[in-house]
Structure 1
Amino acid sequence: MTLAALLARKALLILTITLLVASCSFWAVHLLPENIAMQIAAARFSGTEPNQQLAEVVSQSYGLDRPILVQYADWLAGTLTLDFGVSLVTGRDVVHDIAHHGQNSLRTVFWGFIAGVALAIPTGYVCARFAGSHLDTVLTVFSAAISTIPSFLVAIVMVQLFVVELGLATLSGTSGWARLWVLVLTIALSISGLLSRVVRTAVIDVRLQPFMLHALIRGVPERELFWRHGLKNALRPVLNYLPVVFMFLIYDVIVIETVFNYHGLGWALINAVKALDVPLMQGLVLALVLFYLCCTTLSDLLTWRIYRRKAS
């Protein structure tokens, strides 16, 4: 497959999934059994008892009194032009709020992913290199334990250790390198467990391939053989697993940012749901979906690049 064909296929897939998610988020909100205008009025005017008159004012202000299909068409058109409306809480454009919180999330996700990969690859390689040993058993059990512990429990433990006990970080605002690296370490631990097990399995499979065994019999040093010929073969299942890692990253962003009170996309989404800020809530869901689709596209492009060069 050529690069142009791959990009066209991915662009069509991203557009289709984006419109599907946009449609689901719209109908999920507007087909609720409760009166959405009444719910928004209750969330916006918490000090006032919501009534029908207040709900009508909200409906007229936000266009909820228009026919549902007209609202749906406007929502899809806004999705295609990245116009998600105005936040009901902040009064700013939803795109502005997404960009503001998104830069914080991108920073933590980027460094968390790098740190997670840096932990997982050496751990998986060492386990495969000494498969069946006590070291392999200890590291495998530790990786399995880390991968089965929910992210919010890992985050709570990190808060207790680094914030409460050691006092190295705080839970206010978004500043402070200590707090950022505690977040990064939490994300890295959450994704490194499963990824290290994938690396271990991939390396063991490559080491048992006939061409590797034949080269070892001929006296080629194992380390040189693996790094020159076995690495690319071991990378394929790891790269194919990256979309799963990105899926866990989105979950970790929502949970860990909420626990740490870190003002990123996950924190903003939880607060938008609490305040029933429908435009911001829908925009954030689409932003997280687009983030996942872009990450998986980059993973596919990297896989295509590596194995196209290998085939040539």
Structure 2
Amino acid sequence: MNNQAYKSQFQTCPVTTSHEVKLNGVVKEPLLLTCRWPENKPPKAVVIFCHGLGAGGQDYAELSTELAANGYFVVHPTFPDWIGAVAAAYPDLGIKLDANNRFAWLNAPKVREQMFKILHSPSYWMERTLIVRQLLNGLDAVLNSTCGRPKQPIPTAIAGHSFGAYTSQLFAGAEIDVPNKGKRQYKDKRLSAAILLSAQGRDQQGLRDGSWDQMTGPVLNVTGTLDGGAKGQDWHWKCEPYHLAPAGDKYLAVLDNADHYLGGMTPDDPNSGIPNQSQAVTQLSLAFLDAYLLDDLAAKLWLAAISDHIGDCKLLFEKK
């Protein structure tokens, strides 16, 4: 059990947010980013956060803000599978964007069908990898235009939820089979750790036996007992990135009675509002980042002390 809340050694501070950061690169138009960083303090590390299917770079604000308040520069790209881009690409679907209910498409059968096709379309997988690579290549420019480029290089992690967890595990070293192109791997040595929130297992999106053999770096894999995959898989499938990766700095957290949204990481989540779950995700994420981006011994000890609870959140917790 671990009833002691994790507290970073970084003194929390106000957060600056910008939704207008632009980065030129390989895509047709400048890449628009949402960035958050600690106000009046240099960031200690960078987190690239990848959104899920239909979501966008402005989502996950609560988790992002908490990480930024604790010293991280958090950057959110928006990918072509966000619902606004899908609405523009497929006008016949008649998607009506609702700022107060960004996930209304979940209740529209034709839109859900199209989104399912997008999720399983290799062109969308590849577009995400191009954008993340573009961001990594231009990260110094992004830092320079926001908080200012740090005097010394700082480490970077990648994190993501759902489709974003898929993107994250690709950059952490997961190998996939791309139809008509064969095996592909996107592991990037500029990334020091990865957080996978509701990730994917075998037999979907090119993942299969052996996909995780080269995922050798630190990884935090989080899911819930009410979570599941796009093809009806249960939560055990969501644990495969942990179980099938080599041992060494790997963590698995399965939150009891948590669904796909893990307690709600942003008010836009359809099933948000379970604070003990969302707080557990935040504390796990922050401790993991402190442990493996900053080599913080206190963070590693806090992770090592977890057994079956984080505060009031019951969970299954494993490490290898």
Same fold (TM over 0.5): no
Between 1 and 2, higher relative CO (CA 8 Å, sep ≥ 6) is seen in: 1
Q: For the pair shown, which has the larger CA radius of gyration, 1 or 2?
A: 1
